[in-house]
Structure 1
Amino acid sequence: MPEGDTVYRTAEKLREALVGKTLTRCEVRVPRYATVDLSGQVVDEVLCRGKHLFIRAGTASIHSHLKMDGSWQTGRMRVPAHKVRIILETADSRAVGVDLGVLEILERARDLDVVAHLGPDLLGPDWSAEAAAANLMADPGRPIAETLLDQRVLAGVGNVYANELCYVFGLRPQTAVGAVSDPVRLLQRTQQMLWANRSRVQRVTTGDTRRGRDLWVYGRAGEPCRRCGTAIETDRSGDRVTYWCPACQR
């Protein structure tokens, strides 16, 4: 699933393509909203909140969530037509929503109601490590990786970051949140990771941007730990796949 940094970068791309321009075409391929046509409206703003995107035009707001396979593409359409959920065009640009997990047209005045349940946004103006830490520690017996993935605790972490952060702090993904000795420091590092990757296509958590050296444990089951050489282990039995080094993460 795309994580907060991917959504942040997508919002930047949509701003460049649409903001300040008049829509000449608005084709929504979702039955409930198929009659909505925002042609003639100026796109005033594109914003993201955690993993949610909003494109505001006139009194309407186009709300989308990428879920597992969704994306927004600008320029020439490079996907089969049956995957397209929405097409927005201006005189000189095009944005296409592909396989979007959520797509709805909301009243602009109340569009953020749909994200009111989210915790502090790691890449947003409301970010507060202290507020997120209070949310994180509210249930000390809950597994750390599961808690980091809960968007009500903090908004923007996906499975890659959850696994990578557990490695960096020497905690197995199944470790109870109560074992975190300094939750504010953990969340400050979380924000730093996402912020550093907000403009990168290739996500890096190790500090090494060379291909194949970018991640500590995620997707590396059976490969040697970059620090100690122990084989990385994995658990695929739950809703999310977890990875860890049995020597470095005790």
Structure 2
Amino acid sequence: MTAPTPPTAPIPPIRVLLVDDQPLVRAGLRVLMADSPDLAVVGEAGTGTDAVRLAGDLRPDVVVMDVRMPGMDGIEATRLVTAGPGAPRVLVLTTFDDDEYVYGALRSGASGFLVKDMALDDILAAIRVVAAGDALIAPAVTRRLIEEFAARPEPAARPEPGPAPAAARCRPLTGVTPREREVLVLVGRGLSNGEIAVRLHISAATAKAHVARLLAKLDARDRVQLVVLAYEAGLVP
């Protein structure tokens, strides 16, 4: 007789902190997450200052961060939330048509962004992707934003939000091999590992290994910061 298989321990839900100065936005996400057993809202904040405090107190896995809030904005809050070891991942909320702070938010350590008019189910899927350690590089949305904001100079009237993370500062691509440089160009264009593999005639596992080495060599937190680095190094027109 075979021994009975021990029961599998339940997987804890992804702990989410919602940050938005519009209560209706927070309420909509909170209600939707109530029907998703793998997601749990552990706190809410209406300002960047409260977001930083609650992120430290609650230690969420993911912070869904608005950009435009009274007082401290989402860019500065993102920089502070992601500064320490074991920091939560940050998804930035933005309005695509008029929000000029997305690129700055990515430089401040965000792992991607959400557009406020996205379907709520897509927003939940994005939270899961980021919680799993990946980043949002959607060719139809993320790349378009990064291209737009990377090409723009910093507005003279806007004060610097503080030093950017080391992974996001412009620097020579020291130690990067010619093949890794090719991979970085394709990452910068928003291609997935599978698409990179097809383009370079290599296996998906090899493409993944190249991306992992780039993350380590360039001290990049995730794929979003590789995209930013590719643009800042002039590898992507």
- Structure with more of its chain in strand, by fraction: 1
User: Larger helix proportion, structure 1 or 2?
Assistant: 2
Larger radius of gyration: 1
TM-score of the pair, normalised by structure 1: 0.26
